[in-house]
Amino acid sequence: MKTYYGLIGAGGYGREVMPLANSGLRGEILSGNAELFFVVEDVDDLMPVNGFSVISLKNFLNLPNPKRFNIAIGNSKARQRIAKICIDAGSVPFSINAKNVVTMDAIQMGHGSILSPFVTITSNVHIGVFFHANIYSYVAHDCIIGDYVTFAPSVKCNGNVVIEDHVYIGTGAAIRQGKHGEPLTIGCEAVIGMGAVVTKNVPPGITVVGNPARPLIK
């Protein structure tokens, strides 16, 4: 029975992720047991993008089961909303990992993750659902990362850090190591600016920038 795979999002990030999905599914696709699409919302089917068919979310969800999906969209609230639509319609998340991702011991990873090339996740790490880690990012030991968290390229998350749901961490940001029993915590929906160096806890919903990172004054 053929399985239909949909990568939701055909923008810049989706075009970066699609080759990783295609590589991971290559054997199934070549044997005729899988078909892989770009999937977009609220539009009719489009012309192919980078050689891959593009279909609407409605048409993807109307395909026969089994169907599996991932979401290559940076906005975490959009990921959560679309994931619910797909799961409620009977589609099952799948994760996408580059072949050179490094993962070590005792890692718990939720469904729907995207781990780009040169990502490293070390030991005793717990990560929630639909996590995005862009190229050259790492997560060190004893970290807890919530649901729908986004790492831009080259994020450096050192050990004993807690990152709550819907946090966005910008390119090149570094998070100082916490202490055993006293982790450094980044609160729900916080935003860490590009190149920021986080040396202390960040409250929920706050945007911090700079070195050391401080709340953004608007």
Closest C-alpha to 129, from 112, 150, 151: 112
DSSP character at residue 106: S
Structure-token pair, residue 214: 């401080």
Please work out, in degrees rounded to the nearest 5, the angle formed at the alpha carbon of residue 169 by the alpha carbons of 87 and 93.
Answer: 15
Grouping H, G, I as helix, E, B as strand and the rest as coil, residue 42 is coil
Q: How many helices (H) and strands (E) does the chain have?
A: 4, 25
Specify whether 132 is catalytic: no
Residue 159's nearest CA partner among 143, 173, 138, 135 is 143
Peptide bond preceding 93 in cis form (omega within 30 of 0): no
Amino acid code (one letter) for 25: L
Residue carrying the six token digits 């945007």:
207
The residue annotated as part of the active site, out of 111, 132, 141, 180, is 141
Residues annotated as catalytic are: 141
